[in-house]
Amino acid sequence: MIRRWLFIALLLLLTLYAGDYLSLKYRIPGNRAQFGSVQTRTSYAVTQKSKKTEYYFNPPENETCVHSLFPQLGHNPCWYVERNRVRQIDL
């Protein structure tokens, strides 16, 4: 019984992913744009020997994203990139 529900859930997820890909690839519905661009900022947090943290900031960059639910064609979805505009990398 559990295997059957797991199989159905996996099949539905696979169908959703394939539909998302086909929608992006063939621009369904209408003539929508496949790609977008979001301005992101990256900063580096470097811990010094004195236990203080020093921050280095990169200038803002435009990141290419796709208008879809899932990551497709090697890019993250625009809804995800917009929510994560500021990235901090700890070194």
pLDDT digit string (tens) for 14-63?
999 999 999 998 988 888 889 999 999 999 999 999 989 999 999 999 99
Looking at residue 1, what is its pLDDT?
Answer: 74
Produce one character per residue of 75-84: b if its CB has 16 or more CB atoms within 10 Å, e if not. bbbbeebeee
What's the pTM? 0.80
**What is the SS3 assignment for 63?**
strand
Looking at residue 12, what is its pLDDT?
Answer: 97
CA–CA gap between residue 45 and residue 9 (Å, rounded)? 41
